Amino acid sequence: MKTMHSLHTTLPLLLALLTPLIPQGRQVLPTHVLFRDLRFRQGFVLSHADSSKGRSVEAVLNLGDANNVPAWRLCQWATKYSLATSPCTQPAADDLSYENQGKKVLVGRGNSPNRDLILEVRGSAEYGDRARRSGESWPHLLIEQDAVVLRPLDELDRIRFALSLRLLYCINRMSQNQYDPGLHAAQFQMFFIIRNISPDSPDRDDFFWFGVPFFDNRHDIPPAYMAQDAGKNDATGKFIYTVAGRSVGVAPLRPGQWLTLDADLLPFIRSGLQEAVKRGYLQDADPSHYAAANMNLGWEIPGTFDAAIQIRDLHVSAVTGGNYEIHPATANSEEEFERLANALKPGDELVLHGGEYSQKNRRAVTANGTAEAPIVIRAAEGQSPLLTRPAEQIDRYNNIEFVDCSYLIIRRLRFRGGSSGVRFIRGHHITFEDCEVFETGNNALTMNSGDCDSFIIRRNHLHHTGLSTTRPTEGEGMYIGCHDGSCITTNTLVEGNYIHHLRSTSDGGNDGIEIKAGSYGNIVRDNVIHDTNIGRQYPGIFVYGGGPGINIVESNAIWNAGEGIQVVSDAIVRNNIIFNCSVTGITAAPHVAVRQMRNVTIVNNTVVNHPKGVLVRWSEAVNMVFANNAVYCPGRTAIDASEMADATAGANCVEGHLAGVVVDGSRFLDGGRISQAFIEPQENDFWPRSGSPLIGQADGAFTVERDFNRTVRQPPCDIGAYETEGQAQNPGWKVQAGFKPMQ
Single-letter residue type at 514: E
Which are the contacts of 698, defined by CB distance < 8 A and separation ≥ 6?
Answer: 604, 628, 651, 716, 717, 718, 719
Q: Using CA atoms, how far apart are residues 334 and 691, in angstroms rounded to an integer?
A: 63
In a domain, 80, yes or no: yes
Q: Using CA atoms, how far apart are residues 64 and 704, in angstroms rounded to an integer?
A: 27
Q: Does position 19 have pLDDT exceeding 50, yes or no?
A: no
Q: Does position 17 have pLDDT exceeding 90, yes or no?
A: no
In which band, very low, low, confident or very high, does the pLDDT at 327 lie, cut at 50, 70 and 90? confident
In which band, very low, low, confident or very high, does the pLDDT at 682 lie, cut at 50, 70 and 90? very high
Give the mean model confidence (pLDDT) for residues 50-74: 89
577 and 590 co-located in one domain: yes
Grouping H, G, I as helix, E, B as strand and the rest as coil, residue 268 is helix
Contact 308, 168 (CB under 8 A): yes
Which are the contacts of 473, defined by CB distance < 8 A and separation ≥ 6?
Answer: 441, 442, 466, 467, 503, 504, 505, 506, 508
What value does the mean pLDDT of the chain take? 91
Residue after which a domain boundary falls, among 300, 319, 338: 319
In a domain, 545, yes or no: yes
Q: Does position 709 have pLDDT exceeding 50, yes or no?
A: yes
**What is the CB neighbour count within 10 angstroms for residue 30?**
15
582 and 456 co-located in one domain: no
What pairs with residue 503 in β-bridges? 534
Q: Does position 157 have pLDDT exceeding 90, yes or no?
A: no
In a domain, 715, yes or no: yes
Q: Using CA atoms, how far apart are residues 480 and 492, in angstroms rounded to an integer?
A: 10
In a domain, 148, yes or no: yes
HEC letters along 271-335: HHHHHHHHCCCCCCCCHHHEEEEEEEEEEECCCCEEEEEEEEEEEEEEECCCCEEECCCCCCCCC
Contact 105, 73 (CB under 8 A): no
In angstroms, what CA-CA distances link 687 with 126, 639, 702, 736? 39, 21, 20, 14
423 and 327 co-located in one domain: yes
458 and 585 co-located in one domain: no
Q: Does position 10 have pLDDT exceeding 90, yes or no?
A: no
Identify the pLDDT of residue 650: 95
Q: What is the domain-level CATH number for residue 400?
A: 2.160.20.10
**Among the listed residues 447, 453, 448, 465, the one whose alpha carbon sits nearest the alpha carbon of residue 406:** 453
544 and 505 co-located in one domain: no
Identify the pLDDT of residue 322: 46
Q: DSSP character for 368?
A: B
In a domain, 471, yes or no: yes
Q: Does position 3 have pLDDT exceeding 60, yes or no?
A: no
Give the rounded percent of residues in the chain with a pLDDT score beyond 70: 94
Q: What is the domain-level CATH number for residue 110?
A: 2.60.120
The number of residues making up the chain comes to 743
In which band, very low, low, confident or very high, does the pLDDT at 47 lie, cut at 50, 70 and 90? very high
458 and 591 co-located in one domain: no
74 and 209 co-located in one domain: yes
618 and 495 co-located in one domain: no
- pLDDT tens profile 511-566: 999 999 999 999 999 999 999 999 999 999 999 999 999 999 999 999 999 999 99
Q: Over the Cα atoms of the chain, what is R_g?
A: 28
195 and 180 co-located in one domain: yes
Q: Which helix (H) or strand (E) holds 27?
A: none
In angstroms, what CA-CA distances link 104 with 82, 182, 535, 704? 11, 27, 52, 23
- pLDDT tens profile 590-604: 999 998 899 999 999
Top pLDDT among 125 and 393 is at 125
In a domain, 571, yes or no: yes
- pLDDT tens profile 394-443: 888 999 999 999 999 999 999 999 999 999 999 999 999 999 999 999 99
**What is the CB neighbour count within 10 angstroms for residue 386?**
18
In which band, very low, low, confident or very high, does the pLDDT at 323 lie, cut at 50, 70 and 90? low
Interior/surface letters 689-703, b for 16+ CB within 10 angstroms, e for the rest: beebbbbebbbeebb
Structural domains in the chain (count): 3
**Among the listed residues 547, 529, 541, 436, the one whose alpha carbon sits nearest the alpha carbon of residue 486:** 547
In which band, very low, low, confident or very high, does the pLDDT at 339 lie, cut at 50, 70 and 90? confident
- pLDDT tens profile 405-418: 999 999 999 999 99
Identify the pLDDT of residue 30: 54
- pLDDT tens profile 376-393: 999 988 899 999 988 888
In a domain, 19, yes or no: no
Write the Ramachandran bin of 332: left for phi over 0, alpha for psi from -120 to 50, otherwise beta: alpha
- pLDDT tens profile 465-516: 999 999 999 999 999 999 889 999 999 999 999 999 999 999 999 999 999 9
Identify the pLDDT of residue 599: 97
Identify the pLDDT of residue 265: 95
646 and 720 co-located in one domain: yes
Domain region containing 699: 539-743
Grouping H, G, I as helix, E, B as strand and the rest as coil, residue 524 is strand
Q: Using CA atoms, how far apart are residues 705 and 87, in angstroms rounded to an integer?
A: 24
What pairs with residue 231 in β-bridges? none
Q: Using CA atoms, how far apart are residues 715 and 251, in angstroms rounded to an integer?
A: 34
282 and 329 co-located in one domain: no
Q: Does position 371 have pLDDT exceeding 60, yes or no?
A: yes
HEC letters along 119-172: EEEEHHHHHCCCCCCCCCCCCEEEEEEECCCCCCHHHCCEEEEEEEEEEEEEEE
pTM of the entire predicted model: 0.72
In a domain, 9, yes or no: no
Write the Ramachandran bin of 270: left for phi over 0, alpha for psi from -120 to 50, otherwise beta: alpha
**What is the CB neighbour count within 10 angstroms for residue 528?**
23
596 and 734 co-located in one domain: yes
